[in-house]
Chain A
Amino acid sequence: MALPTYASPLEKTWHYTYLVICGLIFLFLISPILIVIPLSFNAEPYFTFTSKMLALDPEGYSLRWYDKLVTFGMQAPEGERGAAFWSDFWQNAQWMQVTKNSIIIGFFSTILATALGTIAALGLTRPEMPYRKQIMAVLISPMIVPIIISATGMFFFYSWMKFPIPSFEGGFHFEWVRLAGSYFGIILAHAALGIPFVIITVTATLFGFDQSLVRASASLGANPRTTFFKVQMPLIMPGVISGGLFAFVTSFDEVVAVLFIADHDQQTIPRQMWNGIREQISPAILAVATILVVISIALLTTVELLRRRSERLRGMSPQ
């Protein structure tokens, strides 16, 4: 990007203007994400920088909104911070409950999406796969179809469909439970929404996969099983993990399907945020936002490291 030595003054001016424009766009990209971090430490219930904050006066900052996150919904929020307090927190604090739900739902839907998606990607990338494009289009569709349409469809169908769960009360039998309003229903919904991301990342890794390695492995006497686990698997693993992370983030961030098919028992972090934002964005919401930003930084780092590892393993890295 260095300017050639023969550049005219006009070109030089343009070049620096261009860099400034890029800087402004980067500012536009990143400032909304970073702005919530200092504001979440506001000592006052405002969403803007107070004069004390601008003067970097420690009094302008506090952890009160984080404290509020901890105590909100607890039975004895004023209690001493001992074992009883934290057990109360674990069982009753609203944000703790929704965090548990988000993790449970995110975890199971990710497993489901990643397992099914990876197996399907193995089939999809075989050259002999019939109707590949059409099937791919169907499998990607949850990402393309507007979420409001997916969620309303699920609302009716999941309200109607029941699934059996084993019950031991009064002799062994199956109890029929509705999908809507159950963890299982939301896990299914989120798995469906996360699958396109798994398919896209894993097929991308597999298309880059050198098929001669499989033949080499077979010619050296390995059976298909061994070949898969010893040769293919380690090479596509980074793709699978980043696909899984995408699926997890999709579930972790999803609110519309939860709005339509979840009960109060299955409220998630974004669902709770949605409530908070609509009714009153107290800086407590900004504290949640800050925590989520830190999580996304961690996830992003993981994915980047994985991607580089994958490229290195496949000898594609330009470095």
Chain B
Amino acid sequence: MKKTMILTTALVATGFAASANEINVVSWGGAYTVSQVEAYHKPFEQLTGIKVVSIDADNPATPLKAQVEAGNVSIDLADVELSDAIRLCDEGLLEPIDPAILPPAPDGTPATEDFVDGALQDCAVANIVWGTVIAYDTTKFPENPPSTLADFFDLEKYPGKRGLLKAAKRSMEMALVADGVAPGEVYDVLGTPEGVDRALAKLDTIKDSVVWWDAGAQPPQLLADGEVVMTNGYNGRFFNAMIAEGKPFDIIWDGQYLDYDLWVIPKGAPNLEGAMEFLKFSTDTQRLADQAKYISYGPARKSSAPLVGMYQDGKTEMGPHMPTNPENMKNVIATDPIFWADHDVELSERFNAWLAS
């Protein structure tokens, strides 16, 4: 018994000592995490000797909140959506980040002007702009392929299972736009009880044909396995499946949902200094441009845009695949972070009740 204890404590002690020179970074897994590892983690480790441990979560905001509230924080840095960054900051769960510490653009433009609008928050710094889009299996619809958000809800013209993110956010806006609401008015409509009913009624029309997913890596897999013929998902994941793995998918660039991903640091992060170092390093102009080499997400700095070129295969131009490409911005739904920061809990509750009924 005694030996057991000694051995165990030795194990714990080594695990504990090792954490001094590493940071735990939580992100969304799959192709997206790979792009971050290539563009940020590896060069950062080489430069500083600080080990970056990459952890996957369906949505990093939830384990972060759970950890801070349970008083057991092991996350140093997390990649979260804009509304979650604002909400977590409002709830006092994040370390404030002073934008003055961020490096300026190569031409000397200060970070506060170099980042696109909304990319710098009180407790968060954006790294990418990304879109939630619909993708479909081209082999299933060889003629007259679907082209609009409304087609996603048209089971007669395009029969087959649909994949949908199991969350109120994005599903409800998508449903409203497909139902004819102008993208600019989505949040006015969704702010009313009638609007919520209308979104759920629209979702009701396909409810029996939906396969729900949780993690960002699932939708391309569901398409590839033939479990669904059409699904929503993150544009970079589909890009990866189409270009890197050669899957017969295509993206419907109608009514895509634009959002930021931002770095945040939880209150009580075990390695605050290391996390700040990493945050400064990974959001400089070159690093943000580098990431676009591995996945089709737009960099959050204006100065990075001209540096974006080819995909890592050396022959695919990234421009047309970017969610921010003007061609792809038809009917774009821009997320209203304050709306979701305020209403996420309420609408999720409604959505779950609807889901279970």
Contact = CB atoms under 8 A, between A and B. Distances in A.
Contacts of A115: 1
A187 B5 CA distance: 11
A280 interface: yes
Contacts of A275: 29, 56
Nearest to A156: B70
Nearest to B55: A264
A96 B7 CA distance: 20
A264 B8 contact: no
A263 interface: yes
B24 A183 contact: no
A155 B70 contact: yes
A127 to B, nearest CB: 28
B70 A265 contact: no
B15 A112 contact: no
B16 A187 contact: no
Give chain A's interface secondary structure class: helix
A187 B72 contact: no
Interface string B193-227: 00000000000000000000011011001000100
B9 interface: yes
B12 A279 contact: no
Nearest to B69: A159
B49 to A, nearest CB: 15
B74 interface: yes
A112 B215 CA distance: 36
Given A108-B7, A156-B70, A180-B72, A165 B24 contact: no
Contacts of B53: 264
A111 interface: yes
B303 to A, nearest CB: 32
A159 B215 contact: no
Interface string A115-159: 100000000000000000000000000000000000000011001
Interface string A252-286: 00000000000111000000000100111000000
A20 B9 CA distance: 56
Contacts of B12: 165, 177, 182-184
A214 interface: no
A279 B74 contact: no
Interface residues of A, number: 29
Given A165-B9, A264-B53, A280 B217 contact: yes
B217 A279 contact: yes
Contact of A184 (B9, B71, B217): B9
B100 interface: no
B118 interface: no
A108 B2 CA distance: 12
B24 A264 contact: yes
A279 B29 contact: yes
A120 B71 CA distance: 35
B4 interface: yes
Interface residues of B, number: 26
B11 A183 contact: yes
B13 interface: yes
A178 B268 CA distance: 14
Contacts of A187: 8
A71 B217 CA distance: 21
B9 A166 contact: yes
A263 B74 contact: yes
Contact of B70 (A159, A167, A278, A279): A159
A104 B11 contact: yes
B16 A175 contact: yes
A178 B72 contact: yes
A75 to B, nearest CB: 10
Interface in A163-181: 165-167, 175, 177-178, 180-181
Nearest to B5: A184
Nearest to A181: B74
Given A108-B8, A159-B72, A167 B55 contact: no
A187 B16 CA distance: 16
B43 interface: no
Given A165-B16, A166-B9, A184-B9, A278 B218 contact: yes
Interface in A93-115: 104, 108, 111-112, 115
B248 to A, nearest CB: 15
A229 interface: no
From A115, A155, A181, A275, residue with most partner B Cβ within 10 Å: A181
A111 B55 contact: no
A6 interface: no
Given A165-B13, A182-B15, A279-B221, A159 B71 contact: yes
B343 to A, nearest CB: 27
Nearest to A265: B15
A165 B16 CA distance: 10
From A108, A160, A279, residue with most partner B Cβ within 10 Å: A279
A107 B257 CA distance: 49
B224 to A, nearest CB: 8
Contacts of B8: 108, 183-184, 187
A127 B55 CA distance: 53
Contacts of B191: none
B30 interface: yes
Nearest to A47: B225
From B16, B55, B214, residue with most partner A Cβ within 10 Å: B16
Given A181-B74, A279-B30, A279-B215, 12 more contacts: A108-B4, A115-B1, A155-B70, A156-B70, A160-B71, A166-B9, A180-B72, A182-B12, A183-B8, A184-B12, A263-B74, A275-B29
A-B complex: 9 closest residue pairs judged by Cβ atoms: A159-B72, A279-B217, A159-B70, A280-B221, A165-B9, A264-B55, A183-B11, A182-B12, A180-B72
10 contacts: A47-B225, A111-B4, A160-B70, A180-B70, A182-B12, A275-B56, A278-B214, A278-B218, A279-B215, A279-B221
Interface of B: 1, 4, 7-9, 11-13, 15-16, 24, 29-30, 53, 55-56, 70-72, 74, 214-215, 217-218, 221, 225
